Amino acid sequence: MTTVEESITPHEDVIVKEWEAYPMRRPYIAKVIVDMCTGGGEPLKRAATILEMLTGQKPVQSRAKQTIRDFGIRKKEPIAVRVTLRHERAVEFLRRALQAKDNILLVKNWDEDGNFAFGIKEHIDIPGVKYDPQLGIQGMNITVVIERPGFRVKRRRRRKAKVPWRHRLTPEESMVFMKREFGVEILEKERERTYLF
């Protein structure tokens, strides 16, 4: 099976040399968002406890935007919890979360701006996490935002400006960054797993 690693190798040296020549072009992890959607009630409280235990930050609640009777969800009812991690805490958590995925991601995980997202089916797959019968097992979604220095101009209060296209991050550059900084292997499609019963 051919990996994306093989397809981006010819351009990888060019990208890395550009980062070395122009430090403002080198990307970094801007933030990592971890969210768990369980619906309301007791499962939401358990999810909040798990998220705080994993990240060391108190999660905030997300509320339903509309009523869905089939799922028993009412508008403005808390249905999910999320945490936004930055700086060293974001990098440290991301390394642990990637180990739960065997440091393998798929091309389809990336968007056009170089950000990517992936899911973990069971939080106990993260290294160092033990099963607690009172909390059960929960899955989570992890979204990673990668930026270049200078992106602050589009968020500041005064004199906001657009980030020019030449300074925006491409998915290819983001993949090279993840490969070199985190040792991630990027595949076109998921490998077939063989189970022995």
Residue 57, C-beta contacts closer than 8 angstroms, at least 6 positions apart = 83, 85, 89
Residue that wins the pLDDT comparison between 123 and 78:
123
Tell me whether residue 66 is in a domain: yes
pLDDT at 191 (0 to 100): 66
Residue 197 located in a structural domain:
no
Pairing of strands 104-106, 185-187: parallel
Tell me the pLDDT band of 10, cut-offs 50, 70 and 90. low
Sign of CA dihedral 139, 141, 144, 145: negative
Residue type for position 120: I
Asked whether residue 63 is assigned to any structural domain, the reply reads yes
Q: How far apart are CA 83 and CA 55, in angstroms?
A: 8
Separation between Cα atoms, residue 186 and residue 102, nearest integer Å: 11
DSSP letter, residue 178:
H
Asked whether residue 127 is domain-assigned, the answer is yes
Domain that holds residue 19: 4-187
Q: Which residues contact 117 (CB under 8 A, 6 or more apart)?
A: 109, 141, 142, 143, 144
Please write the tens of the pLDDT for every residue from 67-99. Answer: 777 766 677 777 789 999 999 999 999 999 999
Report pTM: 0.82
Classify residue 195: in a domain, yes or no: no
Is residue 194 in a domain?
Answer: no
Q: Please count the structural domains in the chain.
A: 1
49: in domain: yes
Residue 195 scores a pLDDT above 80: no
- Of 101, 89, 105, whose CA–CA distance to 179 is shortest? 105
Q: What's the CATH code of the domain at 96?
A: 3.30.1440.10
